[in-house]
Each structure stands twice: as structure tokens, then as C-alpha cells.
Amino acid sequence: MQIDNNPKKKRFSLLRRLFGGKNELSIYEEELVQSPFRTIISNFKDNKVAMTGFIGFMIILAIVLIGPLFIPIDLSFSEVTQINVAPGLDMMKVPKELQGNIKQISIGPTFSVGISNDGEVFIWGKTRVSSALDVANIPNDMGKVVQVAAGYDHIMFLNEDGKLFFSGNNRQMQSTPPYEVQNLKNIKQIEAGYQSSIVLSDDGYVYYFGNSMNNDYNEFHDYQGQIEKIVTTADGVLGLTKSGEVVYLGNQQNAYTRIPENMGKIVDVGTTANTVAAVNEDGKVFVWGNISTRGEGNPPELVDDKIVAIQGGRFHYTALTENGKIVSWGANNYNQSDVPSGLSDVTVVSYFTDYYQNYAIDENGNLHTWGLKGYLLGTDELGRDILSRLINGGRMSVFIGAVAVVISTFIGIIVGSVSGFVGGRVDIVLQRISEMVSSLPFLPFAMILSSLIGNSLTSNQRVFLIMVILGLLSWPGLQRLVRAQILSIREQEYVTAARSVGIKQVSIIFKHILPNVVSVIIVSATLSFATSMLTEATLSYLGFGVQPPQPTWGNMLYGANNSIVIQNYWWRWVFASIILGVCVICINLIGDGLRDAIDPKSQER
């Protein structure tokens, strides 16, 4: 017998004993002292593929459980201007060539257009408005551009010769000026809206062309020849006269015509989609129109400063004070009302606001931006952020799968245990019931049951119904496994001994036999978890699962179930497919790893 007298090993062994450590054991000694559970964990940890799946699933689980706390979802939210926006965070990524040389910036729903001091045009953001139209395809022979105006899906350009150019959509003739506009040489302002374009001449005359049904505009209004500035809402046109009065240029009586009285002389006017704001010569702001709860109607009260200019975005206002400071108020769902702290120490000389973006230039020529940069994973058919819906929908998908597995596992354990241990007629009856449930065509039956019962339920009740359906129809496979295990165990000595001392059958089943088959149950439940998630996704994809606006990974795929979406808006189905597939694969890898760890014969030494 060889004795190891290595002093280093002895000192190391002594230190391990002093500080509570244990000596390194051989693999046979380790298996003798370890509990079966620790052996399973050790075997599972040695399986690199299973550990990869476990780590991947835990990352996904952490994201879908913790993510909604930081990225909440508003189920009632929709935004028509942000429909089917491609992934990317480039909506405010101003080209380097333009920075420090900006004359004007005009902002569209997902793109911006700017001109430099020497008349060069730059366009950035999501410029493609359809599969066939791109507002970045601008005319090549415009010359020096002096003014731009971005509309919903088109852009107007005015060069130094007073000639108009257009890019983008022309379906409603918004890019085809009438004859009298083509011959104008004294254009003062151009304004682009939703399917409409407006031109204001130096002598105060207004020319409107495009969709006349969308905006309420009267070309024969009484203020022709008196207009100093034109502004538009989503459905109306207003003007600021040379005498400092705000006037409505349409035919109808609506919220925009209820102009506040005694405003004094107005020096500037701005609009959001549904409201109008005017600033008088004393710096006081008046807001009217269809004022919502977003906060457009609550301008700040300044003590030592006063507002001298104002511009509106989609649902917010940004204003400039006489001391060169920026103030903003209104909706802030994209941080469009959060003025950067860096602007508090500088003087702003010009700024540009519309939709959800803001640009400000300070006295040193530095450009400051804030608002909507874009969407990391794009938006869907209602303008909703896919990233937030993936995170919140993942929590619902995982929750439905987990609850369904708990229900099916509970039923499978009870039925399999009783059937395997009692046997006889009880076994026959329970197995026939199990076969009846197994023989049901799962998806058609679940679809029919969900369709019949689910139409009269609320959204939360429908989610509960899906979980119950999945649980009630998924237990036969597990009960057969449990029954087979108990049939092989019930004749062993410890079971016979328990019977002989008078222990009740229920205690024998659930306290003595069942703990010895719990490993099989864990493996089966893990694999059933992935199956339940896939089944829920399948039901939702077919339109019979959880209904929108409540997101799940399945009904997000259902929203992309047509050839147009698949071809043109790939981000609406690719990301949901990837996250669902990765999650299910990780769960299956965990299940396979557990099965290998529990089965000693699969372990090769």
C-alpha cells in the first residue's frame, strides 16, 4: 500500500477540515454519501447542453417577469402615425454633414428632413412610407432649397426661385399644385399635413390642395390677403393674421372655432393633432380645441421669463422663452416633453418640434435632440411597440403554460397513483376515462370549446378558460407514466411492510410510493410545460386563444397571419417566432437533461 506523504496535500486537507470543507472523494465514494437528489443535480450540471437550456430559459423568465415593471403596457394604446414602423433607433439620427449648419428641420411621423445654410437637403429616419414609396427619393434638379415641410407621407420643397418640388405620396394630389400655385413667385410659407399641402404667399393669400375631405378648409374664407402664418391640426386649418388675431379657415363650427376672447395681440400660434395654442405679446399661452387628458391644456406658468414662440407635436407643445430657454408640456409617452438638462445652461436660438421629436440649436451651434428615437423591434398594425408587447406577452404565455401544467400534473398524479396502486375495476374505469380524453382531437375540441364558451367571457375569464382547457386535456400522458411506475413499485418490500403495519392506502401512495417516482413527474411536467406554451400559441395563432389587446406570443403571430405582413413587415412575426422557439427549445433541453440525470444507465463513466 502506497502512502502519500506530500506535505502540501496534508496542509490543504487540514485546512479543509478546519474550515468546514470536505475531502475530495472518488466518484464511487461521492455517490455513496450523496442523496439521490444531489446526484441528479450533479449529473444535470455536468450536462452542458441542458445547462445552456437552463440558463437561456432563466434569462427569458427573468426578462418576462421583471421587464413589465420597467416597460409597462397600455392595452388601450394605439397610434395611427406609427403603424408598421421598421426596427431601428434612427429617427433623430441627424447626419453629421448637417450638424452645425442647420437652417431648418421639418418633422414627419417617422422621418425628418433638414436643409443646410447652403440649401442642401438631408433626410433621415424611417423614410419608406409604403412598399413602393420612399420620401427620400427627392428630385435631383431642385437647386438651392430654402424651405421644407414634412407631411404625413410626403415632403414639400421650396427653392430660391420660388419653385415647389415634392417627394412621397401623391394619391390625393397633395404633390400636384394647381396652376395658380405653380406660377407663384412670392411664396412665404409652405405647410404639409395629412394628404394635404398649403402655400401662403407674401401678400397673405392661402392656397390649399390635396384631400379636401380630410381637412375642413374653405378656399373662399374672409381672411384672404390678411394671413401671416398657417398652422394645421389633424382635421382643420387655422391662420394668424397680420394684425395678431387667430382665425379658423374652415366652414364648420367645432372645437377649433371656440377661440378664447380677449387674448390680446397674438405673436405666435402652434397646433397639436387636436388642439390649438396661441401666445400673446405678454407671453401668456391660451390652449383650446379637443383638449384631452394628455396635458396639452396645462402650459407652465413662468415667473421671471415669458414665452415668445410655440410649436406643437402630435400631443405635446414645446415653447421658447425670451431668455432662450425651452419649456415643454403635454403627452410624454416617448419622452418628447422631457427637455434635456443640458439645455438649462445654454441659450437656444432656434428649435423645431413636430410629432414625437424635438430639435434645438444653442448659441454655440450645438444640436440637442429629445423624443422618440425609434423602436428597437418595430411596431405592429396599431402602432404598438413590439418589444413591450413581447415582454408583457411573454409573461402571459409563461403563466398560462405554468398553470396548465400544474392542473394537468395534479390530475395526472391523482389518477395515475390511484389507478396503479388500487388496480382492479378502479384501474379499468380510470384508464377508460383517460383513453376517452386522449381520443379527443385536442386542437379542434379546444377551439370549439373556446369558441362556444369564450365569447361570453371577459378577457381575464378567457385567459383562465384557456388555462383550464389546457390542463384538463393534457393529463392522460402523465397519468400513464405514474401508473406504470407505481405498478412496478407497489410489490416491493417496503410497500408490503407498510401494509402489514396497517398504514392506510392513501398514506402508502402519497408518502411512500409517490416520492420514489417524483423524478419522472418532474421530467414529464417540464416537457409538458413547453407543450402547453406551444398549444396556447397555436390556439392564439388560430384566433381561439387569448384575444387582443392582451398580448401573448401566440396572438402576436396571429396578427401577422397574412402574406402582406409576411412579405413587407417581417419584424411583426420574426421576433415573436424566435422568442417562442428559443423558450420552448430551452425548456425541452432542460427536460431532456433531467431525464438523463435521473436515469443512471445514461451516465457514462
CA distance 499 to 194: 83
Q: All 3 cell numbers of residue 140? A: 435631383
pLDDT value of residue 35: 60
> pLDDT by residue (tens digit) across 407-424?
999 999 999 988 988 888
Please state which CATH number belongs to domain 43-67+385-602: 1.10.3720.10
Per-residue pLDDT, averaged over 32-39, amounts to 63
> pLDDT by residue (tens digit) across 523-546?
888 888 888 888 888 888 777 778
Please report which confidence band the pLDDT of residue 139 belongs to, taking 50, 70 and 90 as the band edges. very high
Q: Is the pLDDT of residue 194 over 50?
A: yes
pLDDT value of residue 26: 56
Using alpha carbons only, give the angle 140, 144, 147 rounded to the nearest 5 degrees. 105
Q: Is the pLDDT of residue 269 over 60?
A: yes
> pLDDT by residue (tens digit) across 271-303?
999 999 999 999 999 999 999 888 999 999 888
User: Which residues are within 8 A (CB) of 142 and not within 5 positions of it... i.e. 6 or more apart?
Assistant: 121, 157, 159, 163, 165
Secondary element (H or E) of residue 574: helix 571-598
pLDDT value of residue 129: 86
Q: Is the pLDDT of residue 209 over 90?
A: yes
Instruction: Work out whether strand 326-330 and strand 348-354 pair parallel, antiparallel, or are unpaired.
Output: unpaired
Please report which confidence band the pLDDT of residue 473 belongs to, taking 50, 70 and 90 as the band edges. confident
User: Which residues are within 8 A (CB) of 204 and not within 5 positions of it... i.e. 6 or more apart?
Assistant: 223, 224, 225, 226, 227, 228, 241, 242
pTM of the model: 0.83
> pLDDT by residue (tens digit) across 553-576?
988 888 788 888 888 899 999 999
Please report which confidence band the pLDDT of residue 514 belongs to, taking 50, 70 and 90 as the band edges. confident
C-alpha 107: how far from chain center: 23
pLDDT value of residue 30: 52
Q: Which residue has the higher pLDDT, 8 or 487?
A: 487
Q: All 3 cell numbers of residue 22? A: 470536505
Cβ atoms of residues 408 and 102 within 8 Å: no
Q: Specify the range with the lowest mean pLDDT, choosing from 58-62, 334-338, 464-468, 497-501.
A: 497-501
Closest to 400 in 3D by CA, of 538, 259, 216: 538
User: Which residues are within 8 A (CB) of 123 and not within 5 positions of it... i.e. 6 or more apart?
Assistant: 111, 112, 113, 114, 135, 136, 138, 155
> pLDDT by residue (tens digit) across 117-132?
999 999 999 999 888 8
CA distance 433 to 178: 78
User: Which residues are within 8 A (CB) of 179 and not within 5 positions of it... i.e. 6 or more apart?
Assistant: none
Cβ atoms of residues 192 and 150 within 8 Å: yes
Q: Specify the range with the lowest mean pLDDT, choosing from 378-382, 442-446, 525-529.
A: 442-446
pLDDT value of residue 14: 45
Compute how many other C-beta atoms are within 10 angstroms of the C-beta atom of residue 117.
11
Percent of the chain exceeding pLDDT 70 equals 92
pLDDT value of residue 15: 45
Cβ atoms of residues 87 and 355 within 8 Å: no
